[in-house]
Amino acid sequence: MGKAKRSALGKGLDSMIPKKTTVVKQAEVSKKVEVDHVSRETLIKITDIEPSLGQPRKKFNEDALHELSESIKQHGILQPLLLKKEKKGYRIVAGERRWRAARLAGLSEVPAIIKDYSSQEIIEIALIENIQREDLNPIEEAFAYQNLIQEFHLKQDELAERVSKSRTAITNSMRLLKLCSKVREMVIEEMLSSGHARALIPITNAKQQETIAQKVFDEKLSVRETEKLVRKILSEQPEKPRKKEKDKNAIFYKDLENKIQEVIGTKVSIQKKSNKKGVISLEYYSEEELEHLIELLMSIQK
């Protein structure tokens, strides 16, 4: 079976602009070009440009902007901005960082390509540009995925195809949004890695989650150590009161859960159904734990 054809957006920004790109410096003379639906590179007044409304990146590193600004003073802008024509001026589709740095450098015009993009394309291109340059922090990336899914009614596998990511990567990214706001801020400030943060997700109490996150940061725990700490905390927490069971063997099933949990090292739940049937559930809190469980189960195969 042949591979599904990827969208041009999934292939990256190179497919959205002409192959030939020239270096344009402020001293060069430009002519006004009437914009239509055909892509063309031209110089646009920097005061006629507005930042993107769908920009997934919320924080711009000031030091990095000044470094780029100095580079632009020396070498000009090497890649044109992508813009969309609006009633008054232009809206940035991709290149907001270059635009900000150009303003710092004192440029009055910047090279740009104007095209007619849909609202979905604008958000996708901004997201892809930042992902390719690794400019987004994990929380910004997760919110960007959520925004695309909710606003344009996409499924996770459809979104994965659009941005050239695996569905697992999309799912793991969006799981970070389950964290409380203070722990999300710790991820943004690079106090916690994405791996550490995902290990904290099973802690549903926001205050407790924040306390454990601070402990992980203060004691410089590894991801493995964090997962172990979370398992220990969960095992010590009193379970939520269950509905009254008519089954007289409830204690027997609880004892079985504890015995299995001691063997495999993760939380186990046994739910008895009618006709002597039931379900055994094994919980895991990371891809590494899942792999460990699979290896353990495979090792008892005859």
User: pLDDT digits over 67-107, tens only?
Assistant: 888 989 988 888 898 898 888 899 888 888 889 889 999 99
Measured CA to CA, the distance from residue 288 to residue 168 in angstroms comes to 13
DSSP 53: T
**What residue ranges in 16-144 does DSSP mark as E strands?**
41-45, 49-50, 81-85, 90-94, 109-114
Q: Would the pLDDT of 19 be above 80?
A: no
DSSP 115: -
pTM metric for this prediction = 0.51
- Would you please indicate which residues are annotated as catalytic (active-site) residues? 96
Task: Report which of 6, 42, 5, 36 is spatially closest to residue 24, judged by C-alpha positions.
Answer: 42
Q: Which residue has the tokens 């440029």?
A: 107
Measured CA to CA, the distance from residue 6 to residue 182 in angstroms comes to 37
Domains and CATH numbers, the chain: 16-118 (3.90.1530.30), 179-236 (no CATH), 250-299 (no CATH)
Measured CA to CA, the distance from residue 245 to residue 72 in angstroms comes to 71
Q: Would the pLDDT of 280 be above 90?
A: no
Contacts of residue 131, Cβ cutoff 8 Å, sequence gap at least 6:
141, 163, 165
Measured CA to CA, the distance from residue 103 to residue 119 in angstroms comes to 26
pLDDT band at 57 (very low <50, low <70, confident <90, very high): low
Q: What tokens does 224 get?
A: 């493995």
User: pLDDT digits over 249-267, tens only?
Assistant: 677 777 777 777 766 767 7
User: pLDDT digits over 129-169, tens only?
Assistant: 766 666 678 998 888 888 888 877 888 888 888 878 888 98
Measured CA to CA, the distance from residue 23 to residue 12 in angstroms comes to 21
Residue 72, Cβ density class (10 Å: 0-12 exposed, 13-18 middle, ≥19 buried): buried
Contacts of residue 31, Cβ cutoff 8 Å, sequence gap at least 6:
none
- The Cα-based distances of 192 to 56, 110, 139, 222, 285 in angstroms read 20, 38, 11, 10, 17
